[in-house]
Amino acid sequence: MPLQQYKKRLKTSFFIALCFFATSCGSPTVPNALLSLIERGSIKVGTLYGAATYYNGAEGPQGFEYELLAGFSDYVGVTLDLYPFYSYDAMLEQLAEGNLDIVATGDAVTDTLLMRFTYGPAYQTVAQHLVYRAGTTRPRELNSLAEPVVTVSGSSQAQLLAVLNNTSESLLVTTEDSDAEELLQKVATGDIAYTLADSNRLALQRRRHPNLAVGLTVREEMPMAWALNPELDDSIKAAIIEYFGTVHQSGWFTVLEEKYFGHIRQFDYVDSRAFNQSAESLLKDYKSMFQQYAGDLDWRLLAAMSYQESHWDPDAISRTGVRGLMMLTMDTANDWDVEDRTDAEQSIRGGSRYFASLLGRIPARIGDPDRTWMAMAAYNLGLGHLEDARILTERQGGNPDLWVDVKQRLPQLRQKKYYRTTRYGYARGDEALQYVDNIRRYYDSLLWLDEQGRI
């Protein structure tokens, strides 16, 4: 369910809380940071550019932190004034001076930072990994490294390494010229030997650079939270606590995590490397066809589906008899006027039109990206089996219009105690779940490769 559908509920909860903050809806007896923010009509937030925080995508501002912040500003009923920074230190200095209301770094909270700032509730925990290039000697201890660990100045990684007793200062290098994503890329290309990265950023980058490997885990769990100026009262912090409680209860936070991280938690080095190599060598033969027949769809999404189906082999055939680049059954081929399933252009044309038809048959109330992931699952196991999974989801108290809920029930279509209660019976729902997750990873990789001009 999109965040917009929670607006009334969120704002009702907020105004109840606001009355409490303001001492029974009267004038506060001390300066109240939250009321000042509301009177101003905007909230000033600092964040960093990055894939896990904020960036300008094809459809406008995007990023996990950005969407959380936009949700909070809507919850409070003010405009989001977002100030992206390139430097941790500069951003935190602006918070300390009172020029920002909140800082959302998308980074872990260290003991050093806890002594300087007030923090809202932890909404995620991340591990900190020492990352090296696969194929080189694996580092097993920090105090035995022959080359320095490079981190971003002011980041939690730099702070964490600085306080570890068993790490020599000569092996610590910080930089303002590269962000965390760039440092991971430099490890992948061999420009630097090591960096320290949190599990979120590493997961995002490994689909682009599959040769990134974990040498050791420096810290298992570190909280992520928004920072606030400690000189202010706790009213904004209380509102943040209420907000996160509401979005967790509503399920929207889980939806957001699924959107950005749900498909990349598991990593397959061999598959990721093979995909990137194939994209740079094979896709050029079919790119123009995917673009021609994509219609309102993103051609790169169709290409990702085709790779999952056939590895871009026009002569591919499965054990069940489906064939071609888009792995069409004989019946589907007949429905969409495909005379030769092994003809690349016919297969792409038929597959794209079939997928578009599935999208059109998903209930209109289901928004994207859930709509797309469900249509994708239907492409794999059939619309009837997808509907069975949605019915099981509703029976079990989940939301049948959310992919994050439906995907949990897909494997049940293989279990007798569940599928015997459905209309269409047994299905390999666990394979459909993996099918969608794989395509999402391939699609993300194609977006990046396309941006780099490599396909």
Burial zone of 282 (CB within 10 Å; 0-12 exposed, 13-18 middle, 19+ buried): middle
Q: Is 65 a catalytic residue?
A: no
- HSE-CB of 434 using CA atoms within 13 angstroms: 9
Catalytic residue among 309, 339, 345, 431: 309
Token readout for 226 is 């928004």
Indicate if the alpha-carbon torsion angle 359, 365, 370, 374 is positive or negative. Answer: negative
Report the phi/psi class of residue 12: left, alpha or beta, with left for phi > 0 and alpha for psi in -120 to 50.
alpha
Sequence-ordered list of residues with C-beta below 8 angstroms from that of 5, at least 6 positions apart, any chain? none
Residue of 247, 307, 308 lying closest to 282 (CA atoms):
307
Cis-peptide, bond into residue 230, ω within 30° of zero:
no
DSSP 8-state class, residue 266:
S
What φ, ψ does residue 53 adopt, rounded to 5°? -120, -75
How long is the chain?
Answer: 455
Per 3-state DSSP, the chain is made up of helix, strand and coil in percentages (nearest 5) of 50, 15, 35
Query: 46: how many CB neighbours lie within 10 A of its CB?
Result: 24
Q: Just list the catalytic residues.
A: 309
